Amino acid sequence: MKIITWNVQWFKGLDGVVDIERVVKVAREMADFDALCLQEVAVNYPALTGQTPANQSEAVQQFLPGFQVVFCASVDELSPCGTYRQQFGNLIATRLPVRQIQQIALPYPNPRPLAEHVDSALSMPRSCLACTVQAEWGPVRLMTSHLEYYSQPMRLAQAQALRDLHRQFCDLAAYPPQTESGTPYQPKPLTFDTIMCGDFNFEQDAIEHAEILKPGATMDLCNAWEAMHLQQVQPATFRLFDRTYGPEPVACDFFFISQSLVPRLSRLEINQMTQVSDHQPVLLELC
């Protein structure tokens, strides 16, 4: 099972060109992937997409025949002119059977500025898209998200919520509810096997990272890079070529996996060469 996670910055490369096809091409060159998890996908934001397809979710489907494309809008709003809707969020494209789809809004707390004369920072709603797919060995919950960049309190609350979501899902797998065939209460693909990926906008030494991995009563998560590389720091995935958002390259695009999947870890690679987004794609392979 091969999965790529990538913040594609509405498919805009460092050359300023918005091109969905070349992003898919780079992903295919990395691996014959079973799932592609993308963040920052835009629908009807002409200021971002220019003359390219307005609905990037639908356009992705055109370049991935045989894949099911699931889009989760973190932002869903009426355009300023009041004539169409605008959406921005996360996407999972997979050729594996999708047994269940869940779209979860993440916390959006708004801490007051530390001083009255200080303006609040930019922010937007955030969400998690969870697709339970059927792998060769059974159901696997694939979760992708993109956490707040500008506000650390928001980002911390969202990281804690992702951890708690994972625990909630695992508790359901440990203690399945009663079911009723042929109704919405019918059996669900409950599982401990979890892959959580995306652009988390925190680094490995951040408190948010520690919160994601905080031990609990159910199947804990681990950083897949640390599991494969004996606690080494993951190579950078952001600001390698463009220092608009900071002076040094950092790693903020991660794969977190449940302990149940650690024995299946086979490969974890970062493409640090491509410049078709301001982030670098990361590939995880399980066997």
Tens digits of residue pLDDT in 57-82: 999 999 999 999 999 999 999 999 99
Task: Give exposure, 264-274, as e/b (b: 16+ Cβ within 10 Å).
Answer: ebeebebbeeb
* Model pLDDT, residue 117: 56
Q: According to DSSP H, which parts of 213-284 are helical?
A: 224-228
Evaluate if residue 119 carries a pLDDT over 90: no
Is the pLDDT confidence value at 120 over 90? no
pLDDT tens readout for residues 123-158: 999 999 999 999 999 999 999 999 999 999 999 999
Topology annotation, domain 2-177+185-286: Deoxyribonuclease I; Chain A (3.60.10)
Question: What is the mean pLDDT of the segment spanning 40-67?
Answer: 97
